[in-house]
């Protein structure tokens, strides 16, 4: 599990992948994980698949400071600290450097994040814009063939 601190989480990931072949690796992330995947892809120059990725999580999470249950296990908790917002702010990117390294699946029906902001951050052919859908991309399986092809896993 990643640390609650965005800086610590990304430091831990960078350390754990330090010996990996960057040219042939890829990262995949959804929502805040999509933000992290984007940041990692920019740092190491790998491909990234993003599923309804957060673009400005510092702004979006600021109102949610405090203790929260983990979504997958309500018996576990974490605290969203003010300094974590600052860490996210420091990691935000104005733009991506190589749109060809990205494939974003974005749903217009996302009830959490703004699809227009997401598509504005990932320009051109790097986006598969879904006319409906939801934040969880409940129809994820329908996009697997394109994801696998983008990642050259065929």
DSSP assignment of 97-110, as one string?
S-GGGEEEEEETT-
Task: Check residue 9 and give its pLDDT.
Answer: 96
Q: Are 104 and 122 in contact (CB under 8 A)?
A: yes
Q: In the CATH scheme, what architecture does the domain 23-150 have?
A: 3-Layer(aba) Sandwich (3.40)
Domain ranges of the chain: 23-150
Task: Flag the least confident range among 53-57, 69-73, 141-145, 149-153.
Answer: 69-73
- Record the tokens describing residue 31, joined without a space: 């929502």
**Mean pLDDT, residues 6-27 taken together:** 94
**Mean pLDDT, residues 9-17 taken together:** 96
Task: Check residue 96 and give its pLDDT.
Answer: 92
Task: Check residue 72 and give its pLDDT.
Answer: 81
Task: Check residue 123 and give its pLDDT.
Answer: 79
| DSSP output for the chain | ---SSHHHHHHHHHHHTTTS-GGG-EEEEEEHHHHHHHHHHHHH--EEEEEEE-S-HHHHHGGG-EEEEETTEEEEEEEE-HHHHHHHHHH--SS-S-GGGEEEEEETT-SSS-HHHHHHHS-GGGEEEESS--TT-TTGGGGHHHHHHHTT--
Task: Check residue 109 and give its pLDDT.
Answer: 94
Task: Check residue 147 and give its pLDDT.
Answer: 95
pLDDT tens-digit map of 101-117: 999 999 999 999 999 99
The strand pair at 127-130 and 73-80 is best described as unpaired
pLDDT tens-digit map of 136-152: 999 999 999 999 999 98
């Amino acid at each position: 599990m990643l640390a609650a601190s965005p800086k610590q989480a990304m430091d831990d990931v960078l350390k754990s992948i330090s010996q990996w072949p960057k040219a042939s690796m890829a990262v995949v992330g959804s929502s805040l994980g999509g933000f992290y995947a984007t940041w990692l892809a920019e740092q190491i120059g790998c491909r990234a698949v993003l599923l309804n990725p957060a673009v400005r999580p510092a702004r979006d999470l600021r109102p949610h400071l405090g203790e929260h249950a983990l979504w997958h296990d309500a018996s576990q908790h974490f605290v969203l600290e003010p300094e974590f917002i600052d860490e996210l702010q420091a990691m935000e990117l104005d733009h991506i450097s190589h749109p060809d390294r990205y494939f974003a699946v974005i749903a217009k029906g996302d009830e959490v994040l703004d699809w227009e902001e997401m598509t504005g951050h990932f320009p051109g052919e790097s986006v598969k814009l879904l006319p409906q859908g939801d934040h969880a991309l409940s129809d994820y399986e329908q996009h697997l063939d394109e994801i696998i092809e983008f990642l050259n896993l065929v």
